Amino acid sequence: MTQPVIVGTDGSRAATAAVEWAAGDAARKGLPLRIVHAVDRLPYEIARYPIPVEDQLDRAGRRILEDAEQVVRETHPVVRVTTALIEGDPSRVLRQEAGNAAQIVVGSRGHGGFAGMLLGSVSMHVAGQVDVPVVVVRPGVSAPHGLVVVGVDGSDEAGTALTYAFEEARRRDCRLLALYAWQLPVHAFAPEITYDIDEVRKAQEDYVADTLRAHRDRYPDVRAEMRAVCAHPVAALVEAGEKADLLVVGSRGRGAVGAAVLGSVSRAVLHHAHCAVAVVRPPRD
């Protein structure tokens, strides 16, 4: 069976942007779209005060799904669309849905949470936590720039991200910019360690050229540029993302510690990027 693109919605502005983005993605890939709304009863369960909200929540949920379906029919009428109302915690529901999805799409924020937050807990707990790519969409994104940006750092994750980015660039008929941000270690406690900065720079640029070569051969129709920059990766990626339609990162890079599933760069990029961000995890062995 063809696995659908799955989008989660709580009816919020960001979620509606996610629905539109997911419909475009499904149309480009020729995949069906499944819109999911998780009915979470927990916030309505006030301790020692039972309220009969069951029917109202289901009704509100069905309404959210109908509105989302309508958005798809208006913007991408060719897409085959289905909806599902599922009871449970939204992050858990979407992680389960990922088992039978080509990709999961969510908004950066929802209806809940503290107003100043840049990323909601559902997006945070789904991105990087499932085997399929997760795209986090920001509302209010402007006209297409014709550019896909991908961050690379020499890890397996970055290789997977690079392949994903090339596929997206080809499908969207976009340019691709692969960014490798490198920095010298801070050595306040060992100032006697010195570097030949030109040699370091040359080594970084050689690495970048090697990385891109294999992909260039596989995707001769994609106009790709690879840039090594001496900057913090989050700053470099977020800045490049200002003029991109999609920013692609691996779920975990080389600097990952312990059991963290989402690396610090991916996490920060998800918070601060101005465009849609795809978090891609390499296939399991």
Ligand X SMILES: Nc1ncnc2c1ncn2[C@@H]1O[C@H](COP(=O)(O)OP(=O)(O)OP(=O)(O)O)[C@@H](O)[C@H]1O
Residues of this chain that bind ligand X (CB under 6 A)? 8-10, 12, 14-15, 18, 36-38, 40, 90, 106-107, 109-113, 120-123
Report the residue number, 127 or 147, with the smaller CB distance to ligand X. 127
Report the residue number, 92 or 232, with the smaller CB distance to ligand X. 92
Cβ atoms within 10 A of the Cβ of 51, count?
9
Choosing among ligand X, Mg ion, none, which partner's interface includes residue 106 (Cβ < 5 to 8 Å by kind)?
ligand X
For the record, the structure tokens of 272 come out as: 């601060």
Choosing among Mg ion, ligand X, none, which partner's interface includes residue 38 (Cβ < 5 to 8 Å by kind)?
ligand X
**Binding of residue 110 to Mg ion (CB under 5 A):** yes
Whole-Å CA distances, 248 to 71, 110, 111, 257? 26, 22, 26, 21
Return all residues near 109 (Cβ < 8 A) that are at least 6 apart: 12, 14, 117, 118, 119, 120, 123, 139
Return all residues near 6 (Cβ < 8 A) that are at least 6 apart: 22, 33, 34, 35, 36, 94, 97, 98, 101, 103, 104, 105
Q: Give residues 165-184 in contact with Mg ion (rule: CB under 5 A).
A: none
Distance of alpha carbon 262 from the chain centroid: 12
Report the residue number, 105 or 149, with the smaller CB distance to ligand X. 105
Sign, CA torsion 186/192/196/200: negative
**Binding of residue 107 to Mg ion (CB under 5 A):** no
Report the residue number, 11 or 282, with the smaller CB distance to Mg ion. 11
Report the residue number, 11 or 146, with the smaller CB distance to ligand X. 11
Interface residue with Mg ion, options 32, 88, 112, 159 (CB under 5 A): 112
Nearest residue relative to ligand X (C-beta): 120
- Which spans of this chain sit near Mg ion (rule: CB under 5 A)? 110, 112
